[in-house]
Structure 1
């Protein structure tokens, strides 16, 4: 059993076609078929059912694919890390979620360049979830995200918690109320925009799915622990989870592709949403941003990097982060990444 055989099997398993797999691997179809047959002979198990179209894996093949694809991904990660260790890059590639860019990230990068004028920084807009693979492949060296992740290759530190504010259309009856309560917002359409969900669950009232103007909409009456019992349902959407913490289920929700679209709908009077406080300078001529009285309605900011390889400029980035926090009077607990090398 060798890597050529395994890569041939992975290509066939994923594409379900010998011709497509041959094109992807750069092999002829007879060579690809021969490698796959050799692999099956080596382990004594038929992995691919060749008598159906499209091709599909046998039960043993499915098990083998699940396990071996993980191992091959780890091998690719190890190779990438080894290459980076042998020739460290002078560039620092930073991944970020869009909401971070509206916050202190520009100040942090300016501070970093001020103390390290020779450094070259590349910024990449990439979701919290996608940052994990980007770190392993070497696409980024470090990532700013909003979600905690459990990954054996990744280490992370919590930088701080940022308070949420409510974004309302300027004409909304609550637009000038300085301190808002979630229960008072529950009768509005809540616009959801997160692409990454929480790895946790709580309880919330059942959701009736509807579609309005080609948008995914969940319609329901507001609920509170004080007046109606809640049924058990996993809640991993971040904004719904915030409401569920108080036993509240918004009357109606609309799910959109990203935060900018959500704020565009708020500006158009199509609903309300919650955003980190750093975004309260966006579309201020159309949107009113108001504080929430709930102190625990916050969005965390995490910093992620590899466990076994910490880019040499990351400690300087952390210094710049904490310098900006001190200038802004932000409370934080100083932390450092640990390299096992």
Structure 2
């Protein structure tokens, strides 16, 4: 078997159509059919049930697809990484989640360009989990995210923890209380906005719901750490929509402290007394390829932290072996 045969099979398995798969792969339908037939002949196994429409995979075909698709993804990743290692781009492509942009990222980029004027920087708004695939494909070289990831292809370092603040409508009875407690917020409608959830933990201390299911929504997880369950919740598509609803008096939410300059005419941001109610900021890149400009990015980050008096522990990515 060869890669052409495998890619042809993957296309048919995913699209369940010879014509659609031929269009995707740029092959003629007869060529696609020959590749698939040769693959089945080489393996001595029927992978595709051709007598149903749309096409179905046989039981063996489903098993083969599940296993081979992940292997081909790794092959593509290795090819992309090898190409970048051979000819590193002069540009530094940086992924970030939106909440980072409201914090120190603009200052970091300004410092980076000041210290290294020759660096071309491209910024891309992309979620924490999407950054994993973007790193592998080469769309980004490094990413700022809010979640830890377990991925053999990725290495990450924790930059710092950012305190959450509570966002309340200006007319809310607690809007002028300087230090808030989660228990006092539980009777409000909590607006949830995270599209990425925490990974399921096997740790016995992981907060559980009444049904003993792990709580993975980040804001609910924070409340659950104190044995609190909000009275009512509403889930929206992103952080900006959540703050819009708070401004309209439709509920409250928790946001990283860097966002407390947003919609200040309608929203009151107040501190929480709980020191461990924080949102981490991670920096991640590939395990086997570190863009040559990333050390300069880290230097810029730590320079800004020192200017702002932010506590941090200096770290660096491991060089590929």
In structure 2, the residue matched to 1:29 is 29
In structure 1, the residue matched to 2:306 is 326
Aligned equivalents of 1:339, 1:13: Cα separation in 2: 38
In structure 2, the residue matched to 1:142 is 142
In structure 2, the residue matched to 1:19 is 19
Aligned equivalents of 1:240, 1:49: Cα separation in 2: 46
Kindly state the Cα deviation for residue 31 of structure 1 after the two structures are TM-superposed: 1.2
Aligned equivalents of 2:186, 2:61: Cα separation in 1: 49
SS of equivalent to 2:242: helix
CA offsets 1:28-52 (integer angstroms, 9 cap, x no match): 1111111111111111111112222
User: Do the aligned residues in 2 keep the contact of 1:167 with 1:290 (CA within 8 Å)?
Assistant: yes
Aligned equivalents of 1:337, 1:66: Cα separation in 2: 33
Matches within 5 A, 1:208-247: 230-247=210-227
Kindly state the Cα deviation for residue 204 of structure 1 after the two structures are TM-superposed: 4.3
Kindly state the Cα deviation for residue 88 of structure 1 after the two structures are TM-superposed: 1.3
SS of equivalent to 2:37: helix
> TM-score scaled by structure 1?
0.91
Matches within 5 A, 1:43-62: 43-62=43-62
In structure 2, the residue matched to 1:208 is none
SS of equivalent to 2:295: helix
Whether 1:177 aligns to 2:183 is no
In structure 2, the residue matched to 1:283 is 263
In structure 1, the residue matched to 2:230 is 250
In structure 2, the residue matched to 1:209 is none
SS of equivalent to 1:278: helix
Matches within 5 A, 1:303-318: 303-318=283-298
Aligned equivalents of 1:253, 1:332: Cα separation in 2: 34
User: Do the aligned residues in 1 keep the contact of 2:90 with 2:120 (CA within 8 Å)?
Assistant: yes
Kindly state the Cα deviation for residue 200 of structure 1 after the two structures are TM-superposed: 2.8
Unpaired runs of at least 5, structure 2? none
Unpaired runs of at least 5, structure 1? 206-229
In structure 2, the residue matched to 1:42 is 42
SS of equivalent to 2:292: coil
In structure 2, the residue matched to 1:263 is 243
CA offsets 1:305-335 (integer angstroms, 9 cap, x no match): 0011000000000011011111111111110
Kindly state the Cα deviation for residue 258 of structure 1 after the two structures are TM-superposed: 0.6
User: Do the aligned residues in 2 keep the contact of 1:204 with 1:249 (CA within 8 Å)?
Assistant: no
> TM-score scaled by structure 2?
0.97
Kindly state the Cα deviation for residue 56 of structure 1 after the two structures are TM-superposed: 1.8
Deviates more, 1:115-124 or 1:81-90: 81-90
Q: Which runs of 4+ in 1 moved over 6 A?
A: none
Aligned equivalents of 1:131, 1:105: Cα separation in 2: 17
User: Do the aligned residues in 2 keep the contact of 1:190 with 1:252 (CA within 8 Å)?
Assistant: yes
